[in-house]
Amino acid sequence: MVQTKNKPARKGFIYDLQRFAIHDGPGIRTLVYMKGCPLKCLWCSSPQTQKSKLEIMHNEINCKKCGRCIDLCPVHVIAISDDDDEIIIDRELCTSCGQCVEICPNQALKLIGYHITFEELFQEVNKDSPFYRRSNGGVTVGGGEPTMQLDFVTAFLKRCKQVYINTAIETCGYVKWDGMEDLLKYVDLVYIDIKHMDPTVHKELTGVSNELILENAKKIAAIKLMIIRIPVVSVCNDSDDNTTATARFAFDLGENLKRIDLLPYHKFGTQTYSRIGMEYKLPDVEPPSDDHMIRLKEIVESFGVKAQIGG
Ligand code: SF4
Ligand code: SF4
């Protein structure tokens, strides 16, 4: 697919597609990862989807420090550390021209993110429609945050529904309601993250308060099937009190809430941070124990709300 620097009209900006996924909705699914997210969760396992712009990714393992990219870069933003051990890229000044990607002999550099029309994206996912039909599967749009590109995602999911593909979205819920009702007409299932019930702590963990998210969760549950996801992260949101408050909130959402998925924190994706010039803020946090996850599940279930560990 062709990468372009300026977003053409009617194109969406996506990070990647993943085919034959068996989580994130029923059956066999294609996952569409949009690029751009309004939250900056400390534990984010896909930081490469956070920014709404092309980014240069450098894989230290592949890099042989040959220096070709340093000599070529037209804006001179690539350098090597004094001990010749590390390639340093000033990403603020990088123009995402892609020339270093082309010249690198070791595939150590990559531009991440590309633009695509909703019809092109539909044609891609529709190649797997035989698998969707056989498995009652479909398409799930996540990210990043799909509602940041509301017009594009609405057009894409409307197209999917024209051929009866099952559709789901994964949202952080931090979106103005305008336009959401139109999007939800073409969505069968909504996954929404509830990361903390305390607005102040939520802001410390994600960069934004949770009022808008909780308000949207209520509005969505009034009209659509919904699954709440809680990323369970030690010292951040894994207390009994927070789980109790979330379960109480979920109970009040009514019958459209199918269940709460408790997702144990993991360290997948932490290597990506250094590859895109970001710092990982939770290097010392370990995954929660099985016993702790079972305990939190029991708390949720004590409110009469279904729960499962994992997504
Ligand atoms: S993408 Fe272009 S501007 Fe950015 S580091 Fe590579 S060569 Fe330099
Ligand atoms: S061209 Fe590739 S292998 Fe050579 S220094 Fe640059 S990133 Fe490393």
Average pLDDT, the chain: 95
The fold adopted by the segment(s) 11-52+113-309 is TIM Barrel (3.20.20)
- How many CB atoms within 10 Å of residue 192? 21
Query: What is the rounded average pLDDT of the residues 193-201?
Result: 98
Q: Which residue's C-alpha comes closest to atom 1 of ligand 2?
A: 104
What are the CA-CA distances from residue 193 to residues 145, 177, 226 (Å)? 11, 16, 11
pTM given for the model = 0.93
Q: What is the DSSP string of 230-264?
A: EEE-TTTT--HHHHHHHHHHHHTT-TTEEEEEEEE
Domain ranges, ordered by start, for the chain: 11-52+113-309, 55-111
The pLDDT tens digits of the residues spanning 41-76 come to 999 999 999 999 999 999 999 999 999 999 999 999
Mutate to test the pocket of ligand 2, among 69, 76, 274 (most ligand atoms within 8 A of CB): 69
17's enclosing H/E stretch is strand 11-21
CATH number corresponding to 55-111:
3.30.70.20
The pLDDT tens digits of the residues spanning 91-144 come to 999 999 999 999 999 999 999 999 999 999 999 999 999 999 999 999 999 999
Mutate to test the pocket of ligand 2, among 64, 99, 274 (most ligand atoms within 8 A of CB): 64
